[in-house]
Structure 1
Amino acid sequence: MDFKFTSEQNILRKMIRRFAEQEIAPRFAQIEKEGYLQDITDRMAELGIVGIAVPEAYGGSGYDFVTQTMVIHELAKVNPGVAFTLEAHWKAVDQVVTYGSEELKERWLFRANSELFTFGQTEPASGSDPSTQQTTAKRVDDGWLLNGNKAFLTNGVLAASVYLVLAITSPEKDVENSRTVFILDNQNPGFENGRVEDFIGMRGCPVGDFYLSDALVPDVDRLGEIDQGMEIGHEAHHTARFLMGALAAGIQDQALKLAVDYVLERELFGQPMAHLDGVKFRISDIATGAEATKLIMYHAAWLKDQGLHQKSETTMAKLFGSDYALKAANHAMQLFGAYGYSREYPVEHLWRDAKALQYAEGAYEKLQIDIANVALFERKGESYL
């Protein structure tokens, strides 16, 4: 396995880093106050960043999953919220690429180069338990009528214009074989935006809900086969989770840089804080967690690029990464002392951003169960390393 980026990846990496540092970082305070900024997405579309996951045949760059992970990581080093918008977008795009008919791809993927997509699975009373979902799709002569309410959508309301929707199509069947995914946009007459959540972290990424009231969707905009929706939903989560690992790694890298810079300058007991063993313990923990997260997330992305089994590895990237991102933020805040608890210093937002990773794309405890189930009942100890 080659751990070096290609020359093309390094060129892209430098471009992303320059864009993030020059055009996103100076607007940190504005993003924290106002939230999602559409002009940043427009600029990313102009630079070709939004379409990185879109195949070349549909106007995009067609980059692989390792490259997508690299881009999310670079953006997250500067602003995890902005990076989060692309994670949700690319997760949805990947499902269209994987499961869409040629006609469906022609209808929607060209838009994915300049508009953000999202995937509506969660409902107000349905998070980790899909059996309580209530959104339905009823077959009619012109296609399907969708009714229901989706909640906590990353990119919802303010950012996304194209929505993948998981709906019940065969209520008489079990959960895993009764749902189907459809695609529609926010101009559909049956589509209505709901509220935007006022979350404490990831301020650069909007989260909201929407309502469907007899939203008519033609059958050509059905993604995959009828009742294949849960398979698509599971695959979307697996795609998202190594990208979530990249978000976590970016937060950890931010925490490490801020903490190192601070303890090298700050004096305590007549010497720089960096000379104190207790400080070194925290720095060591941040650095080790960041490096381990990168190894797990890139390995998971590489496995997906190779078409190999990566269900457990991608979940590990999200689980481990979110855990250590929160630890890294906490360590950095503690090293800053009371300053770390102040909004005047760029540390406390890392904790707020990191906490979001323990909810999005699967609750922390649910992921623990998923990993254990694979180890106990599926993989039986086999490894690709």
Structure 2
Amino acid sequence: MIPLRTIVRRMSHLAARYTGRGDVHVVDPSVDLRYIFENAGRLRRSLEERRSDVNIAELKEKYEVWWTKYQAYTTATASGQPKEALAAAKKAMRDEQAGLLNALALPNFVHEVGNQEKPMLKPSKHRDYLTQKGHMRVDKNIGVVHLVGYPVLLQNHLKVQLLEMFQDAILVSPSCFARAAILEGVNVPVKDFVRFTDGSDTFPTTYLVGHSLHSLVSLFIRAQFLEQKNKWPITVQSAGVSYHAKKDTVDLAYARQRMKHCMLSIAMNDEQMDAFANDCMNKIGALLDEGLMLDVKARKVMGKELRNYETQAIVFEDKGLEVARASFTNFTISRIGDYISRRLNIVIDNGEFARMTYVETDVDRVLARLIDGLVDGKDVPKSLRDAVRGSDVV
């Protein structure tokens, strides 16, 4: 049980209330974005590292105009002005909505980036091999694969290994669906996800995401953590299927439905974030390298590879295939800081926005590289021999 004070547990207070548009969904963002423009050099470096072409001076000017109108509106509301005056102030604020929306669209600040390009991807042989052996069926129409036999045992064993490795983390079962407000709050393209509807005209804009960063942060929208009653950092984990938009390639590495292990760590400060990220790197790196005998290498991603919400990311890659990622792809660690917290109103009762680190391991991509090893004549890693009989792996 996580001690927290939930402010309001419903999807209200969207950014749309500042714009008058129904297609703006970001959940309850902190609209005081003046801090973004206080250090022009830092902002310019962040955009340049990401190869983003933005006119900072124009963006700042438009935001300041909107901020002035916003302050006038809040002052009028607090002072009990007549309805006509309030309506005029609200209209003036909404007329300058571009200033707010363009500022909200900005990506996270860049912390540290690497200078090494993504390595050349080595083609995988797992699909042809498993299909010939009757262990995989590919459905190209919907972009998914179906496993049969020992690959399923290996997949489940890998998932259990990851969950047990981080047994101190709280195991959660998040919703497989996310409202558009969540995706826009995290600042990811909604086109990368599967749209879901019950067919009615009133069904809210919803996407099928499965186990992911989006499903984990959705657990804490507009929540306030109690500093004194929690053990910091607060870490939650989940494991299961993650869903993506359909791609041309359909195999374990690129199917739109893949098994993943996800962890979200919520911290009070940067030191806690970094300690968690380092611990994850050591543990998952040891599993992939020593435990599974994969040819993995850790790489700090370049600025142009960062996702909008990431301030730094480290990936573990096997012959160019990302298997894990830490947002701080196979394994990924993402350093996020307070970027998402400011957009989804996730705070600590001391008044600070919570800081986040996200770690994701793509179990199916790990499995793909393990099968590639078997095709190349490697033995089943010792850590997996108990999961399957040697005679099964043929």
TM-score bin (small chain):
under 0.3
Higher helix share: 1
Structure 2 length normalisation: TM-score?
Answer: 0.25
Larger Rg: 2
Structure with bigger RCO (C-alpha 8 Å, 6+ apart)? 2
Structure 1 length normalisation: TM-score?
Answer: 0.25
Higher strand share: 2
